[in-house]
Chains A and B, each alone.
Chain A
Amino acid sequence: MAPDADPGADQHITDVSGTGVPIPGDDVDTDQILPAKFMKEVTFDNMADYLFYDARRDDDGGFNDHPLNRFEGASIAVVNSNFGCGSSREHAPQAMMRWGIDGVVGESYAEIFRDNCKSLGIPAVTADHETVTQLQEWIEANPDGDIEIDVEETTVTYGDTVIDVDIDDAMREALVDGIWDTTALMYSNRSKVDATVDGLPYVEGDD
């Protein structure tokens, strides 16, 4: 099931699948994923055009052999450790999602990036370095091969291989149970929020 930009409260995401794109390298930061100069728009609508904008282009502006250029149409990104570090910009996973990415397999993620993926209904699962590298190599050899992330069973399947992966508990619960729209979840707790606020000395006497 493809995630939607602004989900309803009842969208269950139990599995995502499609061809893969390896995006190798540790500490790939959100400035690379979505350069700041493209954040000067008040909507996320055009973000897919800017995904890895600089990294995908030669000095003369033409497309180079960046994986995103070679694996067009991919749905599953396979990344290494501390992916999405740096800026909190949701523009980065928004751009990935709008480009076509429905799920990510990686060694580890920066926390804000992972939170942003959850907000968008993009499962971001983890496996160890060797497993991830093998999958990246497999994609290079099988660009049309299908990869499935089973969020419920926490497995990734490609070719004849099934691997166990990890996923943050809250992300798994949220996606599988269709409760990843935290605004709706928390909005229903307004009276409890009032009680919490009453106990905070700094909220009242501020002005």
Chain B
Amino acid sequence: MSEGTLYDKVWERHKVTELPNGQDQLFVGLHLVHEVTSPQAFGMLRERELDVAYPDRTFATTDHIAPTEAEKRERPLADDQAEEMLSALERNVSESGITFFGFESGKQGITHVVAPELGLSQPGMTVACGDSHTATHGAFGSIGVGIGTSQIRDVLATGCIAADKQKVRRVNVEGELGEGVYAKDVILKVIQELGVDGGVGHVYEYGGPAIEALDMEGRLAVCNMSIEGGARAGYINPDETTYEYLKGREYVPEGEAFEERKAYWESVASDDDAEYDDVVTVDADGIDPLVTWGINPGQVIEISEPVPHPDDFEARTDREAAEQALDHMEIEPGGSMLGYDVDVAFLGTCTNGRLSDFAEAAKILEGETVDEGVRALAVPGSETVRQQCEERGIDETFINAGFQWRRAGCSMCLAMNDDALEGDEVCASSSNRNFIGRQGSKDGRTVLMSPAMVAAAAVEGEVADARDYLDDGPTGGAGGVEEVAD
């Protein structure tokens, strides 16, 4: 059993009592609400004639169904179902006194982008949202968990969830990242090593030099994909990087109050002699950019590695999964992912829809043109990110290269709005899931990668090595990397 970890400390601070079924009742310090998984929960509340217990600790925005084309955001929305969901959310938050970041607020966006940038997500909190990527907020040293709709009802009605304490696995990520290698590559490497179900029953505490060197946006990308590794929550201990990021944000106290709050933040960090249920080490030193070749995020390789053969896998089920993946992706084992034709480039999402993601991709796109066979979408994770990009002229770099510059939302990550793959299109995507059908077409194919790699794929019309577009070029160890023709 773990002891003295951030997880233990935050759990204890938020534990209300033990329930008769043996679970703990945990207070949720920050409840994030969006339009897709909440209407049924508000409905259940009404049936029971219950009010929202902690409206001040509840914040809502709209992301999943949000149209990303400016003209399509006029109300009522053209999509009747989307309009019904958004209207229901507006009615629910208004009746309950919940702060709502709608289209008109200038702060609308993906819950997991909005809450961090407003300073709502802070160290030592428990965060819940009806969305599996709630692990994102662990980047601050909080415990963020995705919940189902019945649990949303629980949080709305009681401010609490019923939860089982998990084991804590320390994931030490060693080494230094080269130019053109990012947090996204780190988390894909972690999932490659530990598997898509390696984290089941565990919370991941990420640490080590490769993690500590990341800025907050990188840390958010890492924690975001904890769930893709099977861990419902993942976190990073707060440090000066965390505190500096939080200073001056809208929901963060100032002056003396900031120092007082910081004392709490520091107090929840894992002790030096904390005990973990287990400790694993992932070597990220000098890794190449990673891309997925299959239909789950664990089917991933460094760009220099060949696509594996089903026989490479020991377990029969892994072999079958590999065969299914090769079949769906229409790809041969043994070859390189470099040169795999791409029809769509999609940059955005709660994983990689932040300012630094667009800034890094813009470095690739500067002076380049998107391949004529590629439909390229840039979808900021929030309206705040969009404004930040536009203030810096980043939007112009995207537009000049041939990208469509959109408004904020989840967009083609799961295609609940108009942004979807068609037929068997291949998408170079900065999102988090390459499941069959995920991007809106059952025959669509997704290749997960970093934002810079998406930009390079957009330019070449095929999977490419983004480092070829950066000053220093590939950082070594990139056997099999082809020369770029242009």
Binding site for B on A (CB under 8 A): 6, 25-27, 29, 31-32, 35-37, 39-44, 54-55, 80-82, 85-91, 93-94, 108, 110-112, 115-116, 119-120, 129, 168-170, 173-174, 177, 179-180, 182-183, 185-187, 189-190, 192-193, 195-197, 199-203, 205-207
Nearest B residue to A171, CB-CB: B21
- Considering only residues 104-123 of chain B, those with a C-beta below 8 Å from chain A are 122
Stretch among B150-158, B212-220, B394-402, B457-465 lining the A interface: B150-158
6 A-B pairs with C-beta separation under 8 A: A26-B317, A42-B85, A116-B151, A177-B21, A186-B19, A199-B13
Which chain A residues lie closer than 8 Å to B161 at the CB level?
182
Residue contact B40 to A43, C-beta cutoff 8 Å: yes
- Closest Cβ–Cβ distance, residue B422 to chain A (whole Å): 13
Q: Which of B14, B164, B435 contacts A170 (CB 8 A)?
A: B164
Q: Which of A54, A119, A179, A195 contacts B148 (CB 8 A)?
A: A119
- Considering only residues 212-261 of chain B, those with a C-beta below 8 Å from chain A are 227, 230, 232, 251, 253, 257, 260-261
Which chain B residues lie closer than 8 Å to A186 at the CB level?
16, 19, 25, 154, 157-158, 160, 162
Q: How far is B320's CA from A129's CA once the two chains are assembled, in angstroms?
A: 15
Residue contact A203 to B162, C-beta cutoff 8 Å: no
- Considering only residues 300-342 of chain B, those with a C-beta below 8 Å from chain A are 317-318, 320-321, 324
- Closest Cβ–Cβ distance, residue A50 to chain B (whole Å): 12
Q: Which of A86, A203, A205 contacts B29 (CB 8 A)?
A: A203
Q: Which of A25, A31, A90 contacts B149 (CB 8 A)?
A: A90
Residue contact A80 to B27, C-beta cutoff 8 Å: no
Which chain B residues lie closer than 8 Å to A90 at the CB level?
37, 40, 130, 148-150
Residue contact B81 to A40, C-beta cutoff 8 Å: yes
Q: How far is B112's CA from A88's CA once the two chains are assembled, in angstroms?
A: 14
Binding site for A on B (CB under 8 A): 13-17, 19-23, 25, 27, 29, 36-37, 39-40, 43-44, 47-48, 50, 53, 56-57, 64-65, 79, 81-82, 84-85, 88, 122, 124-125, 130-132, 134, 146-151, 153-154, 157-162, 164, 196-197, 200-201, 227, 230, 232, 251, 253, 257, 260-261, 264, 296, 317-318, 320-321, 324, 414-416, 433, 435-438, 440, 442
Which chain A residues lie closer than 8 Å to B15 at the CB level?
196
Q: Which of B20, B85, B131, B436 contacts A179 (CB 8 A)?
A: B20
Which chain B residues lie closer than 8 Å to A199 at the CB level?
13
- Closest Cβ–Cβ distance, residue B325 to chain A (whole Å): 11
Residue contact A115 to B148, C-beta cutoff 8 Å: yes
Q: How far is B436's CA from A129's CA once the two chains are assembled, in angstroms?
A: 24
Nearest A residue to B48, CB-CB: A183
Residue contact A111 to B25, C-beta cutoff 8 Å: no
Q: How far is B20's CA from A69's CA once the two chains are assembled, in angstroms?
A: 40
- Closest Cβ–Cβ distance, residue A202 to chain B (whole Å): 6
Q: How far is B153's CA from A177's CA once the two chains are assembled, in angstroms?
A: 21
Q: How far is B260's CA from A205's CA once the two chains are assembled, in angstroms?
A: 10
- Closest Cβ–Cβ distance, residue A152 to chain B (whole Å): 14
Which chain B residues lie closer than 8 Å to A54 at the CB level?
436-437, 442
Q: How far is B191's CA from A85's CA once the two chains are assembled, in angstroms?
A: 14
Contact A115 to B151, CB < 8 A, known contacts A27-B321, A37-B415, A186-B160 = yes
Q: How far is B415's CA from A49's CA once the two chains are assembled, in angstroms?
A: 20
Q: How far is B261's CA from A86's CA once the two chains are assembled, in angstroms?
A: 34
Residue contact A88 to B146, C-beta cutoff 8 Å: yes
Q: How far is B36's CA from A36's CA once the two chains are assembled, in angstroms?
A: 10
Q: Which of B17, B146, B251 contacts A206 (CB 8 A)?
A: B251
Contact A196 to B14, CB < 8 A, known contacts A189-B25, A202-B125 = yes
Q: How far is B324's CA from A183's CA once the two chains are assembled, in angstroms?
A: 41
Q: How far is B440's CA from A170's CA once the two chains are assembled, in angstroms?
A: 36
Looking at A29, A112, A187, which has the most chain B CB atoms within 10 Å of its CB? A112
State the 7 A-B residue pairs at the shortest beta-carbon distance, nearest first: A119-B150, A90-B148, A116-B148, A88-B146, A40-B81, A54-B442, A42-B39
Q: How far is B376's CA from A140's CA once the two chains are assembled, in angstroms?
A: 46
Contact A26 to B321, CB < 8 A, known contacts A39-B36, A85-B197 = yes
